[in-house]
A and B are shown apart, each in its own frame.
Chain A
Amino acid sequence: DTEVTQTPKHLVMGMTNKKSLKCEQHMGHRAMYWYKQKAKKPPELMFVYSYEKLSINESVPSRFSPECPNSSLLNLHLHALQPEDSALYLCASSQTGTGELYEQYFGPGTRLTVT
C-alpha cells in the first residue's frame, strides 16, 4: 500500500477562520512533509517531520502550524490566512535514514482557497 490520504480535498476559508488539514500514511514511513504548490509551479517545501519531530521549517509564517501526533498522522493548522495562501497543499512521506535518498509518496492534496 503506497497510499497517502489527505482531507479535505477542497477547503474555502475566510481570513479570520481556523481550519486544519490532515494527512495519513500507513507505509511505516518516519519522514513526513508539507508542501505548498501554486498553479503550474513546482512544490515548495514548508515543513519536514522526522520521527515525529520537526526537523525543517522553511521560514514559514506562523499562521501555518504543523503537528505530528504520531508516526502515521500529520496535521497543518491554519489561522488568519491571507488570500495569497490560496494554493494546493501536498503532504508526502518517505523512508528515512542515512543519506535520505528515498522517493517521496504524495497525497492527492488539499485545494485551499482563502477569501
Chain B
Amino acid sequence: AQKITQTQPGMFVQEKEAVTLDCTYDTSDPSYGLFWYKQPSSGEMIFLIYQGSYDQQNATEGRYSLNFQKARKSANLVISASQLGDSAMYFCAMREANTNAGKSTFGDGTTLTVKP
C-alpha cells in the first residue's frame, strides 16, 4: 500500500492567491514526521516545512503552513500569496521513527503552476 498519496498531479493558481496541495499518509508507527519539499525545474529539492506526529500545533514557515489532521492522516501544504517563483514540483514525504529507520517515503508529487 502506498504510504504517501498526493492526488493532484497538477495544480494552477493565480499569482497572489492561496493554494492547498493535498497529502495523505498511512503508517502504524506512532512517531513520525511529515515533510514538504519543493523541486524547481533546476532539480534541487528544497526543504520547506516539517510536522511531527506529536506536535500539537500546525507548522508554519513564512508563507507556508501545514494543515495537519492526524485523525484523517492528512498533511496538506498551504501556500499563501502565491508568487511566480513558487512554480515547481512539490513532494510530500514521511519518515517513521521506529520502522524503516533512515528512510523517507515520498509521494508522487504535485506540479504547481502560478499564473501571472
Give the complex CA separation of A60 and B42 in angstroms.
26
Beta-carbon nearest neighbor of A35 in chain B: B45
Are A100 and B43 closer than 8 Å at their CB atoms? no
Q: How far is the CA of A107 from the CA of B43 in the complex (A)?
A: 9
- In the docked arrangement, what's the CA distance between A110 and B111, Å? 21
Q: Which of A17-25, A38-46, A71-79 contacts B (4 or more CB under 8 A)?
A: A38-46
Chain B 22-45, CB within 8 Å of chain A: the 1/0 string? 000000000111010100001111
Q: Which residues of B contact A99 (CB under 8 A)?
A: 31, 97
CB contacts under 8 Å to B, within A63-112, are 88, 90, 92, 96, 98-109, 111
Contacts of A16 in B (CB 8 A): none
Q: Does A108 contact B97, Cβ atoms closer than 8 Å?
A: no
Query: Chain B contact residues (Cβ within 8 angstroms of A): what range?
Result: 20 to 34
Given contacts A107-B44, A108-B44, A109-B43, contact A42 B108 (CB under 8 A): yes
Interface size class of A (residues with CB under 8 A): 20 to 34
Which of chain A's residues have a CB closer than 8 A to the CB of B35? 103-104
Task: Give the chain A neighbours of B43 by CB distance below 8 A.
Answer: 88, 90, 108-109, 111
CA distance A107 to B44 in the complex (A): 6
The listed residue (B47, B95, B108) touching A41 by CB distance below 8 A is B108
**Which of A40, A103, A104 has the most chain B CB atoms closer than 10 A to its own CB?**
A103
Cα separation A108 to B89 with both chains bound (whole Å) = 15
What are 21 A-B residue pairs whose CB atoms fall within 8 Å in the complex?
A31-B102, A41-B108, A41-B109, A42-B107, A42-B108, A43-B45, A43-B91, A43-B106, A45-B104, A56-B102, A100-B95, A100-B97, A101-B31, A101-B32, A101-B33, A101-B97, A103-B35, A103-B47, A104-B35, A106-B45, A108-B43
B: which residues have CB within 8 A of A? Answer: 31-33, 35, 37, 42-47, 50, 52, 89, 91, 95, 97, 101-104, 106-109, 111
Task: List the interface of chain A (C-beta within 8 A of B).
Answer: 31, 40-43, 45, 48, 50, 55-56, 88, 90, 92, 96, 98-109, 111
